[in-house]
Structure 1
Amino acid sequence: MKTPTEHTLTKVPEVTFAFWLIKIVATTLGETGGDAVSMSMHLGYLVGTGIFASIFLVTVIAQIKAKKFHPFLYWATIVATTTVGTTLADFTDRSLGIGYAGGSSLLLALLLGSLYVWHRTLGSVSMSTISSPKAEAFYWITIMFSQTLGTALGDWTADTAGLGYTGAALLFGGLLALIAAAYYWTSLSRTLLFWAAFILTRPLGAVVGDFLDKPLNAGGLALSRYSASAALLTFMLIAILLFRQRAARTVH
């Protein structure tokens, strides 16, 4: 006789259109918020990284200790990864002098290494398997690396490659559209497509964030980083309240 399939709830949300909408807004907020602290407040990339890394550790510990899925806690942790990713990437690329290409290569290696160790340890990197503290730890470490990589990749594409913020946004938006098409019309691994989309939303958010707050002569709109961050945060909170967030299910 077949054993009935057992379903349990994870502490991460179902992957829906609302998930991707909020994720892109969160990554854009991470860019403007990170720049507001490190640049507008003149605290520098290292101090900014220390501040956001502390927030990241607090939210991740709270997320892992939580007994069930809490939408606001989950998205607060995502925002923490995007802000620390912004300041850490800028510190690596600019303060350490590695450059966008070197920073992106280093962070890509760290991201792939994290996914590899996660898969070797637990046998899967699928969202549907995130049901233990160890899996959650791998999940958040991988996300932090992906957010940091996305910042460096966005800056590299917009600045070094010369596409500008608009051109880079169109590039990453187009790549995300291709991944969506592959999801609906091919049999490619859903886990592979998820992580590809997850990684690409970060550089998209990075270049959109830069477009909002960079000077006019640099191709931006020259909006205040504080007001842009406040508007993005408000939109994100409304979206979380408006679109019901449900915990993803894991199958045993």
Structure 2
Amino acid sequence: MTYELSKTPEGARGGTTPARHGHRLRWSKVPEVTLYFWIIKVLCTTVGETAADLLNEKAGLGLTGVSVLMSVVLAVVLVFQFRTAAYRAGVYWPAVALISVVGTLISDNLTDNMGVPLEKSTAAFALVLALVFVVWYRREGTLSIHRVDTTGRESFYWLAVLFTFALGTAAGDLVSERMDLGYWLSAVLFALAIAAVAVARFALGLDAVWSFWIAYILTRPLGASIGDYLSQPHAEGGLGLGTVVTSALFLAVILGLVVYLTVTRGDVVEPESAARRAA
């Protein structure tokens, strides 16, 4: 399953959008949106939830200290990501996993350390994400992930990804607290919401860009619900595997899929293919 995410502004010759800011690259810096993309994305969101809990429990640094540490690690990985000339699965997906952890920690800090109500943090993250999209489109003329081929567009892309994780964390916690469904039913609810977006996209013609980003946001609480269901004790409605086992299990699956995609290049977008898709 792939999503067409192009918005070509008027005057763009041959369906291509001129690079307005940043160094132009020959290759897109993000993978093709296939079934592998969504599987790894959900796995990364699960790791983001369980790893954040694990680090907060075991590192002894406190929530703020863990947040600073993981932000530094993320910054280092993003430096490597920005220095690559094209999408590399072995660099891209570790960045997604780490940004999932950091996005979770940002939301948790607001809720647990600063006492910000989930209603307010959810609204704030939604507003910030909307502003990122507005500025991104006004400066670059496209929100297409098939056009993440300049440093400017890549910067906006990762900023948007960060706030989708933060928004998904806050919104997911808000829904779970208000509805008190438990982990398993929460996962089913968010899976149905994603399925509804897919139906709206393919059957009703919902805009491809927004259907992608809505689904992208919803995968965060879906992955978190799955992670909590596996890791939390039986008394709290989970399977009791613990954060260590759950994190290790999902990281192993992510590693296996990333190695497979690195070898097969099954999610690499060729420049010519991306240009035709955007036309």
Q: C-alpha separation between the residues in 2 aligned to 1:117 and 1:6?
A: 20
Q: C-alpha separation between the residues in 2 aligned to 1:138 and 1:118?
A: 6
Structure 2 match to 1:195: 213
Residue 217 (structure 1) aligned with residue 235 (structure 2): yes
Secondary structure of residue in 1 paired with 2:28: strand
Structure 1 match to 2:63: 45
Deviation digits for residues 199-237 of structure 1, max 9, x if unmatched?
110111111112222232222222221111111000111
Structure 2 match to 1:246: 267
TM-score between both structures, scaled by the size of structure 2: 0.84
Match 2:223 to one of 205, 230, 243: 205
The structure with the greater share of residues assigned to strand is 1
Secondary structure of residue in 2 paired with 1:247: coil
Structure 2 match to 1:55: 73
8 A contact 1:157–1:164 mirrored in 2: no
Cα offset for 1:46? 0.9
Q: C-alpha separation between the residues in 1 aligned to 2:119 and 2:14?
A: 50
Residue 25 (structure 1) aligned with residue 43 (structure 2): yes
Structure 1: runs of 5 or more not aligned: none
Structure 2 match to 1:143: 161
TM-score between both structures, scaled by the size of structure 1: 0.92
Q: C-alpha separation between the residues in 2 aligned to 1:43 and 1:209?
A: 23
Structure 2: runs of 5 or more not aligned: 1-12, 18-25
Structure 1 match to 2:133: 115
> How many residue pairs get matched?
250
Q: C-alpha separation between the residues in 1 aligned to 2:225 and 2:267?
A: 29
Map 1:174-189 onto structure 2 (within 5 A).
Answer: 174-189=192-207
Q: CA-atom RMSD, angstroms?
A: 1.9
Structure 2 match to 1:226: 244
**Identity rate, percent:** 31
Structure 2 match to 1:87: 105
8 A contact 1:45–1:88 mirrored in 2: no
Structure 2 match to 1:35: 53
Q: C-alpha separation between the residues in 2 aligned to 1:45 and 1:14?
A: 35
Residues 115 and 5 of structure 1: is their aligned pair in 2 closer, same or farther, counting only changes over 3 Å?
Answer: closer
Q: Which amino acid aligns with 2:267?
A: R
Structure 2 match to 1:169: 187
Q: C-alpha separation between the residues in 2 aligned to 1:213 and 1:42?
A: 20
